[in-house]
Amino acid sequence: MSDPDPMCLTYIRCDGNTISEPWKLMFMDAMIRGTMHLSFVAHDLGLSSPFGVVKYCSSWEDVNSNLSSPTVRITEASFGGVEARVFESTAEGKETRLKRGVVYFHGGGWALCSTKMKPYYLLCMAMAEELDAVVISVEYRLAPDGRFPDQYNDVFQASKHILTAEVLGRYSIDLKRVAVSGDSAGGNLAAAVAQQMALDSSVSIKFKVQALLYPVLQALDFNTPSYQQNGHIPILHRPVMARFWLEYLNGDQKLVPALLANNHTALDQGQEMAAARAKINWTKLLPVAFHKNYKPVVPLHGDPELVEKLPGLLDVRAAPLLAETEVLKALPPAYIMTCEHDVLRDDGLMYATRLEEAGVHVTVDHYEDGFHGCLSFAFGPFRFSIGTRSLRNYIHWLKENL
């Protein structure tokens, strides 16, 4: 835990005043939206889960065999019964030196992607090589085979097993230099695990830092300024984010309109909901520059059955932004990447404010021309300049702070 410091929140605002390479992004988004639409139609016809077709198509990007390089050795392992891929730096002349460790959780809305997906595979290789690190990418269960809290339980059990002297020693990882990180839904899992690990007295080895890339941290307000501003901006659209939440929390996809209207957080929803709303009050937690001309959406009357159907909405393991201040005080320093053109921008910014108020050192790396998932586009044929820049800065922060 860091001592309270009024200067412990650092903002890095990267250049660019419009979305990065818009025509290329629009082309990518057209393909993604088309696949999403087909997947939702298949679900409505009873042929697959809501994201079943998308999952099948995304598997085409999987790396089918471990592609170790002269500087990175890649193996498969199991930690606490959870499968993972291990990327070990084998830099010449450094074999006997203790290395940094990074426990990484991939994104994909708790329903898509894997450690084998090429962007994540290449990201972990790059981290291992450039940080002279051991990166452990966890293969947690995905919806519909796993529902909340299955994904959380998988990454928690894996992390708890990894944070032992036996496992860290096996991979020559420095016990005092282990990070937890993840993007999007993986950022959600990383934040939740960081909170639990900080409180777990049975775990003597703690994460030194947490690095969250455009994380999703709450499902109580689908009308923050970033949700209103970027509702139809590539590549994560507002209704799709609600669908991901419902798939994770095992809810009916027909509840999307109710969530988007914030019916679950209406003023008549009781004291517990009122207390939760205070922890996501963007009018107090967001820097004024991000308010713009948007207004809060808090209905007078809502659906009291929504929270009964989706109890995970108020569970901090699913929504880390709802954690109590005393929990936040115990957390390690944080790096939070946010993107201007992302519905989840304000989740990250609000969490940064709450961490800073709790006395935690926070670096917010904000990209004015960034969009959701941009770092994954640092690789492959559809490479974006914003992907390369964000990857470089992310690795630089880890190099300086881990």
Do residues 399 and 48 lie in contact, with contact meaning Cβ atoms separated by under 8 Å?
Answer: no
E strand residue ranges, 200-311 = 209-213
Query: Look-up: residue for tokens 């009050």?
Result: 281
Active site residue 342: yes
> Using an 8 Å Cβ cutoff, are 223 and 13 in contact?
no
Closest CA to 398 of 318, 337, 310: 337
Contact yes or no for 89/127 (Cβ under 8 A) = no
| DSSP of 318-382 | T-GGG--HHHHTTPPPEEEEEEEE-TTHHHHHHHHHHHHHTT--EEEEEEEEEETTGGGGGSSTT
Residue 39, H or E segment: helix 22-44
Residue with tokens 């009018």, as numbered in its chain: 283
* Catalytic status, residue 372: yes
- Look up residue 93 and give its two tokens: 């002349």
361 is catalytic: no
Q: Which residues contact 261 (CB under 8 A, 6 or more apart)?
A: 297, 299
Q: Which of 114, 184, 376, 390 is catalytic?
A: 184
Tell me which of 154, 183, 342, 347 is the catalytic residue: 342
What is the full DSSP assignment across 91-131?
-TT-TTS-EEEEEEE--STTTS--TTBHHHHHHHHHHHHHH
Compute CA distances 120 → 104, 117, 186, 380, 389, whole Å.
9, 6, 11, 11, 16
CA–CA gap between residue 231 and residue 126 (Å, rounded):
32
Q: Are strands 9-14 and 362-371 parallel, antiparallel or unpaired?
A: parallel
Quote the CA–CA distance of 51 and 38 in Å, as a whole number.
9
Amino acid in the structure at residue 354: R
Please choose, from the candidates 238, 263, 244, 250, the residue with its C-alpha nearest in 3D space to the C-alpha of residue 310: 250
For 393, which DSSP code? H
Peptide bond into 235 cis (omega under 30): yes
Q: Of 20, 39, 372, 376, which residue is the catalytic one?
A: 372
54, two tokens: 């998308």
Catalytic residues: 184, 342, 372
